[in-house]
Copies of this chain bind each other. A is one copy, B any other.
Amino acid sequence: MRACLCHPVPHTPVWFMRQAGRSLPEYRAARGAGSILEAIADPALAAELTLQPVRRYGVDGAVLFSDIVVPLHAVGFGVDVEPGRGPVVAQPVRSMADIRRLRPFEPDDDAPYVGEAARLVVRELGGRVPLIGFAGAPFTVASYLVEGGPSRTFAKVKSLMHGNRAAWDELVDRLAGMAIASLAAQVRAGATVVQVFDSWAGSLSPDEYARFALPATARVLAAVAELGVPSILFGVGTGELLGLMASAGPQMVGIDWRVPLDEARRRVGVGRAVQGNLDPAVCLAPWEVVATEARTVLARAGTAPGHVFNLGHGVLPETDPGVLSALVELVHAEGRAGVELP
């Protein structure tokens, strides 16, 4: 929490995107055969999956076990999460009529299980580490809705934004509303910081990001600020967008591994924190390589306050949990960004 706000800290904090996931044997045991959306809808199970990595790794944040498509699923839009593929949409958005099928998200009625899981986690954490809530940014969620699933070219979603501005604005406006409702519910349930995932923003040129993605994301971040909690804005391949992302108003910007962290801090600007940025694939290398690369991240983070150590994207399923435990120890022992001297 303090690092998010560029305040001094007792040690460099660390958590891992997708720390609750298939890399953990206890996760695979607890999840069983059900779908991910079923697991999310079971508050006791979702809370347990959220807490597992906190217990094992001693990370400084618990991230709610959930998915960015939960609000879409909960309003009955017809979305599923396919193992190994990602979100898929039964009837992709093609027209204004499809967009009108996106009714407002009422978390307490449509997905009460999210708040229940969050409350269980917060009770168990007892204030030792914060619960991180999250939502998808309007552009990234729209990309799934329009493409119908994961995409390499983002051709359909770019066609829509360039070809039908009115439809695009309506779409991202509704998605911003859903993200705001979802984040507000998570904060009411005890999340004290939130991350907005604009994972695929890096597919956009800076001009496109500024015109088609930033305004709706800025609306979400402004609403989070009204809730009184800090926010993190994250995407991959965003090297050219970091200044724009900072201007959207988050307290912290998530950085992937492509931009050295010292350069990322320059682009994000003074007064905003950064999160990252070890390549998740590096965690599959021998430990001495992982340690060297992690030390490079810490060195580039420098000593100014405002760094949370994380990977540049989610933990890969084939990651050895022992490597992540050792990484947490290393970061706590050697990180120097904003660390108060005794």
Residue numbers of A with Cβ under 8 A of B are 153-155, 158-159, 162-163, 202, 204-208, 237, 239-240, 257-260, 263, 279-282, 284-286, 289, 296, 313, 316, 318
A155 and B202 contact, Cβ closer than 8 Å, known pairs A240-B259, A282-B162:
no
> Is A285's CB under 8 angstroms from B158's CB?
yes
A310 CB to closest chain B CB, in angstroms?
15
> Is B279's CB under 8 angstroms from A158's CB?
yes
A159 and B285 contact, Cβ closer than 8 Å, known pairs A207-B296, A237-B202, A239-B239:
yes
Known: A158-B285, A207-B260. 20 other contacts (CB 8 A): A153-B316, A155-B280, A155-B281, A155-B318, A158-B279, A158-B281, A158-B282, A159-B281, A159-B284, A159-B285, A162-B285, A163-B284, A163-B285, A163-B286, A163-B289, A205-B258, A205-B260, A207-B296, A237-B237, A237-B258
> Is B162's CB under 8 angstroms from A206's CB?
no
Copies in the complex: 2
> Is A280's CB under 8 angstroms from B153's CB?
yes
**How long is the Cα–Cα vector from A254 to B183 in the complex, in angstroms?**
41
> Is A206's CB under 8 angstroms from B158's CB?
no
> Is B279's CB under 8 angstroms from A205's CB?
yes
Contacts of A162 in B (CB 8 A): 282, 284-286, 289
Q: Nearest CB to that of A237 among chain B residues?
A: B237
Pick the residue among B163, B239, B284 that contacts A240 (CB under 8 A).
B239
30 A-B Cβ contacts within 8 A?
A: A153-B280, A153-B281, A153-B316, A155-B280, A155-B284, A155-B316, A158-B279, A158-B281, A158-B282, A159-B285, A162-B282, A162-B284, A162-B285, A162-B289, A163-B284, A163-B286, A202-B237, A202-B258, A205-B257, A205-B258, A205-B260, A206-B258, A206-B260, A207-B260, A237-B237, A237-B258, A239-B258, A240-B258, A240-B259, A240-B263
**How long is the Cα–Cα vector from A280 to B151 in the complex, in angstroms?**
14
**How long is the Cα–Cα vector from A318 to B163 in the complex, in angstroms?**
15
A84 CB to closest chain B CB, in angstroms?
11
A101 CB to closest chain B CB, in angstroms?
24
The 5 closest A-B pairs by CB, nearest first: A162-B285, A158-B281, A159-B284, A155-B281, A239-B239
> Residue among A205, A237, A263, A313 with the most chain B CB within 10 A?
A205
Q: Nearest CB to that of A165 among chain B residues?
A: B289
**How long is the Cα–Cα vector from A207 to B282 in the complex, in angstroms?**
12
Contacts of A239 in B (CB 8 A): 239-240, 258
A281 and B154 contact, Cβ closer than 8 Å, known pairs A237-B237, A259-B240:
yes
**How long is the Cα–Cα vector from A285 to B208 in the complex, in angstroms?**
13
**How long is the Cα–Cα vector from A237 to B208 in the complex, in angstroms?**
16
Contacts of A237 in B (CB 8 A): 202, 237, 258
Q: Nearest CB to that of A279 among chain B residues?
A: B205
**How long is the Cα–Cα vector from A46 to B208 in the complex, in angstroms?**
37
A284 and B158 contact, Cβ closer than 8 Å, known pairs A163-B289, A259-B240:
yes
